[in-house]
A and B are shown apart, each in its own frame.
Chain A
Amino acid sequence: MMFYLVKKIIVVFTAILALSIAGWPGAAGAAGESDLRYGVKTELAPGVVYYPFSTKNWSGQPVTGHVTEITPGGELLEIRPAPGNDALGGRETVSSLAARHGAVAAVNGGFFDGGSGNPIGGLVVDGVVHYHRDLLRTSVGWNGKGQFKFGYFIPGTRVVSGAGSLTVDGYNRLPGAGEVTLLTPLGSGGISASGSNTVVLQRAGDGTFKVVDARPGPGNYMLVFGSARAGLAGSFRKGDTLQIQSTFGSGLEGIDHLVTGGPLLVQDGIPVFQAVNEGFRGGVLAPNARTAVGVKANGNVLLVVVEKVKSANQQNDYASAGLTPDELAWLMAGLGAVRAAALDGGGSSAMWAGGKLVSRPSDGSERKVANALVVLYQIPTYFNGQRVYFDVPPYLEQGRAYVPLRGIFELLGARVTWDPATQTVLAVRGERSVSLTIGKREALVGDKPVLLDAVPGVINGRTMVPLRFVGESLGDRVEWQSSPKAIKIYSKNIEQGVNPE
């Protein structure tokens, strides 16, 4: 009897406490936005702001999380999907992906298969479909200006040449007998296809593709013809120019990038509850760490990570209890999203901001994921037409572009060594060597002194040199594109369409 009296007293006391703090029923706002507490805002780059938040879930448990809010459209500002290890099936932590892309912020991307590492859904990068598995789940697509769309990903791809066009039946997989599939640089490394039923393509700087007569390398695309359509391969000739044209489904028109997540969380500013209808079940419907992407009415993009972390002191208590998909929908609406969808969650949820992982992994350590959304503020750099990234990206200072010497020289096939005693960098490629010393404008190219535009600097341990020096030193072609700003480097030693290896 005493036990039940004590229990009752505890319950009633708890209720009184709850009422005294939370107010009587009916007092709380519908969307709960008033219960959000925001931390200090930090500008990560022009147009990119990070801030933490705290709130409660519907069970009253504490919930903490992180927001990176991006005002898209600014010069040099991009949001891009970054595949782990630059390959389908590759896995890499968000921290690693962010660091090697020189990102100002990043979150984990779409769901992926625990076995193959392939996306559960789709992956589009720069308008090219790299993966598609037909799933009735929400995909998140966006263009280079950071304008996001949410919808059902149903890609269609045609290869168009002067002689006609053909439809691609699949991506980064071998074709069935009557099919034609497209292998892309992200997936071709893991798929063995060669011989007379293949056509090797090289992407040009203008987005077109050229048929090349070469052994397929990591940078190449390839059309693979099934046995019943093998004859078509012979209709392509070296030097032919092709276009690969893709559509992505109703409502996803004009996107450049896409990952598949789900469920849809917010539409028209209203939380929606589509998790079960998108085929989520089991533990995925339970409270957990979450990642979501949303768009505010003003077009700002919200990258959100909710934590699930046990309390340091109590085994069964949570410092942050996580959210269900339904609770996440309300949270995103409360954060101001008019449209939003979830990405992969649980142990995959992670946010990098300002050079470090700001979220606490629910698994205790950071999980390697299939892809991430990286927020870049940098001068896009292309090497032989292909986008490349550096942990310290190129930047502009007083109208002059600086590039990371080691990263660029290594791309160009040079071996770079650093002598800390003399603060000297030595790069050697074949018979040619380049030497420069930090703090000095004069460099040596072979035995010949060369005066740099400006003194080389060091940022985060990386030697940054004026762009022009790259061309002057190893003799490769370097272009500065002023609008939109871009750096284009072409190796003179690499024949177009042939991989350096």
Chain B
Amino acid sequence: MMTSIADFIDRARNKFIPAFIGLMLLAGLPGLPAAAEEILPAGQENTPAPVKLINREYIDTVTVNHPLFVDLLENGNYLVCRVGFNAPSVQEIDPAGRVVWSIDGVQPVSARRLPGGNTLVADSGAPGLPYAPRVLEVSPAGKVVWEHRFASLAESPRYAEKLANGNILVTLPFMIVELDRQHRVVWSYGSRKPLSPDSAGYLERPVMAAGLANGNVLVVDRGFAGGRVLEINKSKQVVWQFGRRLAELRFSSGVPAVTGDRVEAERSVPEFLPAPSYACRLENGNTLVTDLGTSRLVEIDGKGNIARELDWSAALLGYPVMNTWQAALAGDRLLPVFTLTNSHSRILELDINNLPALNRGGASET
């Protein structure tokens, strides 16, 4: 039987370990920017920005499934992936809230509208036969024009997008694969099975892989206790990364009990990404990363330095948020997707140009 949601949320807030922060400061993993010199106190509660933050709000009252991933289409419609225990689907929803197109029979974790009008869907295949984990390309008429099925739910895709060369880049539980149209794996990074953290190709929980103009691949590895964003070249070398790998400590023995406030601690270390969910490369070469754990949009330069931090937490004020699923970027729009404690959901459309800079407050020494 389900137990109290409020109780769970309360418990979940007490999970962070200050030791992790200290570990980050000490460990200094190769390829990562220098650690912060000290842990700064958390900033004061950000006040709502004077400009209107929310451009559009989609109110979703369905409770048997919920939006998980949203893309903003050129026509202004939303392409929404709905997952759940009943009637999951991909839906195109117009600004009036009408479903103008849909794909049923999928448990979609990502959907992308392709230039020709087709839609590329990553289907988790949950909970199993007759459903199967797969990536499928669907025409506007709803015809499946290409499909790649994976053999096992252990290869359930997390995200898929089409590359400029026509191949499909698929994010799997512990690896990234590039498939050509003949279903051949022409490139991969990672392993079908989880690797130890010190292994080449180690990915803890990748949730997105995007092709870059330079031919490299930008991966968001959400991790389990903090994640990272990394750029991998075709030779499978990590040429850039940001964030920390904290999961090395998972299940490790002897770590002291959890104390402290998670949000405060997370906000105090800029390089820590508690829950990165989406990333894109900007024209200036910097990388934008959304972090669900801190409601933060981080722009990182090629050297791994933070160019700016934007805060969307003010847009969530007043919402009793139960789960935040995703915050994807579409041009200058940020699309947080979350479910409330009453099991209704919201999709917000925020103009990132209107987002306030994160107020880290500074040390108010006394």
- The dominant DSSP class at the B interface is loop
Q: Restricting to B7-46, which residues have a CB under 8 Å from any CB of A?
A: 7-9, 11-12, 14-23, 25-27, 29, 38-39, 41
Q: Restricting to B238-273, which residues have a CB under 8 Å from any CB of A?
A: 245, 247-258
A21 close to B (CB within 8 Å): yes
What separation, in Å, do the CA atoms of A136 and B129 have in the docked complex?
Answer: 10
Asked if A58 contacts B325 (CB within 8 A), the reply is no
What separation, in Å, do the CA atoms of A15 and B257 have in the docked complex?
Answer: 12
Asked if B19 contacts A283 (CB within 8 A), the reply is no
Asked if A270 contacts B9 (CB within 8 A), the reply is no
Closest B residue by C-beta to A54: B253
CB distance from B89 to the nearest CB of A (A): 12
The verdict on A30 contacting B196 (CB below 8 Å), with A1-B366, A264-B153 known, is yes
Task: Give every chain A residue within 8 A of B192 (Cβ-Cβ).
Answer: 270
Task: Give every chain B residue within 8 A of A114 (Cβ-Cβ).
Answer: 1-2
A396 close to B (CB within 8 Å): no
Asked if A277 contacts B251 (CB within 8 A), the reply is no
Asked if A284 contacts B2 (CB within 8 A), the reply is yes
Q: Restricting to A46-84, which residues have a CB under 8 Å from any CB of B?
A: 55-62
Asked if A279 contacts B86 (CB within 8 A), the reply is yes
Asked if B250 contacts A28 (CB within 8 A), the reply is yes
Task: Give every chain B residue within 8 A of A267 (Cβ-Cβ).
Answer: 152-154
Asked if A112 contacts B25 (CB within 8 A), the reply is no
B61 close to A (CB within 8 Å): no
What separation, in Å, do the CA atoms of A338 and B47 have in the docked complex?
Answer: 50
What separation, in Å, do the CA atoms of A360 and B129 have in the docked complex?
Answer: 36
A240 close to B (CB within 8 Å): no
Task: Give every chain A residue within 8 A of B59 (Cβ-Cβ).
Answer: none
Task: Give every chain A residue within 8 A of B66 (Cβ-Cβ).
Answer: 281
Asked if A250 contacts B5 (CB within 8 A), the reply is no
CB distance from A107 to the nearest CB of B (A): 15
Task: Give every chain A residue within 8 A of B250 (Cβ-Cβ).
Answer: 28, 32, 56-58, 327, 330
The verdict on A32 contacting B251 (CB below 8 Å), with A25-B23, A152-B127, A283-B9 known, is yes
What separation, in Å, do the CA atoms of A24 and B156 have in the docked complex?
Answer: 31
For B365, give its contact among A1, A24, A287 (CB under 8 Å). A1
Q: Restricting to B206-247, which residues have a CB under 8 Å from any CB of A?
A: 224-225, 245, 247
- The segment out of A95-103, A221-229, A343-351, A382-390 that lies at the interface is A343-351
Closest A residue by C-beta to B16: A59
For A56, give its contact among B3, B16, B253, B363 (CB under 8 Å). B253
A356 close to B (CB within 8 Å): no
CB distance from A186 to the nearest CB of B (A): 19
A177 close to B (CB within 8 Å): no
Asked if A28 contacts B152 (CB within 8 A), the reply is no
Asked if B197 contacts A57 (CB within 8 A), the reply is no
Asked if B339 contacts A274 (CB within 8 A), the reply is no
For A11, give its contact among B21, B29, B225, B248 (CB under 8 Å). B21
For B253, give its contact among A21, A262, A272, A334 (CB under 8 Å). A21
What separation, in Å, do the CA atoms of A46 and B8 have in the docked complex?
Answer: 40
- The segment out of A2-10, A163-171, A418-426 that lies at the interface is A2-10
Asked if B22 contacts A268 (CB within 8 A), the reply is no
CB distance from B269 to the nearest CB of A (A): 10
Taking Cβ atoms with an 8 Å cutoff, the residues of A that contact B are 1, 3-4, 7-8, 10-19, 21-32, 35-36, 55-62, 111-112, 114, 134-139, 150-152, 249-251, 262-264, 267-274, 276-279, 281-288, 316-318, 321, 326-327, 330, 334, 344, 346-348, 362-363, 367, 369
- A-B contacts besides A14-B19, A28-B197, A114-B2, 4 pairs, CB < 8 Å: A4-B41, A58-B251, A270-B192, A277-B127
Top 4 nearest A-B pairs (CB, nearest first) are: A283-B8, A15-B22, A60-B255, A21-B254
CB-defined A-B contacts under 8 Å, sample of 16: A3-B366, A4-B38, A12-B26, A22-B249, A58-B247, A59-B15, A59-B16, A59-B255, A61-B258, A263-B127, A270-B173, A274-B124, A279-B85, A282-B2, A326-B224, A362-B3
